[in-house]
């Protein structure tokens, strides 16, 4: 009970965002070198400007969902109906896997989406930490990130061994109970040299490398430890190539993978940022880039390939890139432009995959992941244009500015927060009307209830959840913009941590008029 129909659909979203990274800044980098003429450059952005209250309020709410999802011993617990849970996770292998986060409304720890959550949260902090700080959300975001990375470090006990899951999904989804009362066995799953899992290992490397940049100035010892693990795990992922969906077939029901090339590029990109080592750049533009970064693969008007926000650092004043390397990176520019042009609603290349109200809509399962992801990428591209004084984006002969992309991002954020046909906020806790029957075990069961595994009366209850899963971004509306607020409707009503990471990034980008930092270093 409670499983979403093949969470593998979420991996399409991972692919979608993986692409964005090299894509966004690489496109700007290449455009700077090769554009012959363009309109006047936009103004150089200054420090954080006036706060937009609705986005500040929404960001304050969105960051709290990470606290709702925490496993382990909850220090300074901010969620009154949550308590310590899964304290013995990893004990059978003599490792402490008690931390980390439950990925959705269940009590599983799936490291593939958890690592992705950490990478995107790191990305958001690195780009928009100054804006988060203005509204006092930087420290909570950093604390949530460290809760995940502490766990991921412990999941890597030796160079070629990586634990990638805690709990038996089949057993877990036959229960409806609070994580605090779990008594069933919690087995842990690993990938290793003989049973590889390149995509989940590479995503873990990306998470730790990006987080090493977040903590570089505030905890240098921890940052170095993160980077050491990231480099070792990337070497393991690249040396022992194989899909974890093949090595461990049972994962196909939840977070299936159809390939690992996107994650390898994503990880190499973050490692290039974190280390400055040219070998990672060569990885992106050499045979691996040619094999994995097929710019022709545009899916649903968005992106179906993989990469990362590589080379922004060189354009914004960091390491120099040769003309030969720049030419090698043009494949990412073409994909970036296609992606951005597909998102703009009046572009000649606009994707038709959107609702009548203008929401980007790709899949009926967890539809808002694509909406919010699209908006986050658009505002990043807009801010890269602004920070680099790049004047224009060209879409089949039509010219667009950074403001056009920002306005698109705002339209998607406002849709999520209530400017939609249902007149409902899909961010739980924000506004006067939001989902009350969220598909979430802990939120659905009273704090003092003793259910054991079989608390299904709370799943079937016609009463709203007794606990508010504050900050949860639910799956969202169908294509016809309807939403059925039912606890049994996991397709629309189950929140995830990776949704939260992206909405935190989007709201942080909109909370003031500032733009992105020029360098991560």
Burial class (CB in 10 A: 0-12, 13-18, 19+), 228: middle
Distance in angstroms (rounded) separating the CA atoms of residues 115 and 97: 14
CA angle at 496 for the pair 246 and 100, rounded to the nearest 5°: 75
Handedness of CA 190, 196, 197, 198 (dihedral sign): positive
Position of tokens 């939001």? 434
Q: From 330, 383, 481, 345, select the one nearest 48 (Cα to Cα).
A: 383
Q: Are 123 and 505 contacting, i.e. CB atoms less than 8 angstroms apart? A: yes
Distance in angstroms (rounded) separating the CA atoms of residues 192 and 498: 25
Q: Are 151 and 100 contacting, i.e. CB atoms less than 8 angstroms apart? A: yes
Let me know if 173 is a catalytic residue: no
Q: Give the active site residue among 229, 273, 370, 439.
A: 439
Q: Are 259 and 243 contacting, i.e. CB atoms less than 8 angstroms apart? A: yes
Q: Which residues contact 198 (CB under 8 A, 6 or more apart)?
A: 237, 238, 240, 241, 242, 243, 244, 260, 263, 264
- 3-class DSSP state of 87: coil
| Active-site annotation, residues | 439
């Amino acid at each position: 009970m409670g499983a979403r129909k093949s969470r593998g659909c979420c991996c399409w979203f991972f692919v979608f965002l993986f692409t964005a990274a090299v894509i966004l800044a690489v496109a700007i980098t290449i455009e700077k070198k090769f554009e012959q003429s363009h309109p006047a450059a936009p103004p150089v952005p200054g420090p954080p400007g006036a706060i937009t209250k609705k986005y500040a309020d929404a960001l304050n709410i969105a960051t709290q969902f990470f606290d709702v999802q925490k496993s382990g011993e909850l220090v300074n617990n901010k969620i009154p109906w949550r308590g310590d849970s899964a304290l013995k996770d990893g004990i059978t292998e003599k490792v402490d896997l008690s931390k980390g986060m439950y990925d959705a409304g269940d009590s599983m720890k799936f490291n593939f989406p958890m690592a992705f959550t950490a990478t995107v949260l790191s990305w958001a902090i690195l780009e928009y930490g100054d804006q988060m700080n203005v509204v006092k959300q930087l420290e909570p975001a950093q604390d949530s990130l460290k809760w995940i990375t502490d766990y991921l470090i412990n999941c890597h006990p030796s160079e070629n061994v990586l634990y990638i899951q805690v709990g038996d999904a089949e057993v877990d989804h036959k229960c409806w109970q609070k994580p605090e009362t779990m008594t069933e066995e919690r087995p842990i799953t690993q990938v290793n040299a003989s049973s590889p899992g390149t995509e989940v290992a590479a995503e873990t490397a990306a998470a730790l490398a990006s987080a090493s940049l977040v903590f570089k100035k505030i905890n240098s010892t921890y940052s170095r430890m993160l980077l050491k693990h990231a480099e070792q795990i990337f070497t393991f992922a690249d040396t022992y190539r194989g899909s974890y969906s093949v090595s461990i077939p049972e994962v196909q029901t939840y977070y299936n993978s159809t390939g690992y090339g996107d994650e390898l590029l994503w990880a190499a990109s973050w490692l290039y940022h974190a280390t400055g080592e040219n070998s990672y750049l060569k990885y992106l533009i050499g045979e691996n880039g040619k094999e994995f970064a097929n710019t022709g693969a545009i899916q649903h008007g968005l992106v179906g390939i993989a990469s990362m926000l590589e080379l922004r650092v060189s354009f914004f004043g960091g390491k120099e890139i040769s003309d030969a390397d720049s030419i090698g990176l043009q494949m990412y520019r073409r994909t970036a432009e296609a992606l951005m042009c597909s998102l703009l609603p009046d572009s000649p290349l606009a994707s038709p995959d959107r609702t009548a109200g203008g929401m980007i809509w790709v899949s009926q399962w967890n539809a808002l992941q694509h909406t919010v992801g699209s908006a986050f990428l658009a505002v990043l591209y807009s801010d890269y244009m602004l920070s680099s004084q790049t004047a224009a984006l060209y879409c089949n002969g039509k010219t667009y500015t950074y403001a056009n992309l920002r306005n698109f991002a705002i339209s998607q954020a406002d849709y999520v927060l209530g400017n939609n046909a249902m007149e409902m906020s899909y961010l739980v806790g924000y506004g006067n009307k939001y989902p009350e029957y969220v598909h979430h075990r802990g939120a659905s069961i009273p704090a003092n209830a003793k259910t054991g595994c079989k608390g299904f009366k709370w799943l079937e209850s016609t009463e709203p959840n007794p606990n508010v899963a504050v900050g949860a971004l639910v799956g969202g509306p169908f294509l016809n913009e309807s939403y059925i607020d039912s606890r049994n409707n996991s397709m629309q009503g189950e929140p995830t941590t990776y949704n939260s990471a992206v909405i935190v990034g989007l709201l942080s980008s909109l909370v003031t008029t500032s733009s992105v930092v020029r360098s991560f270093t």
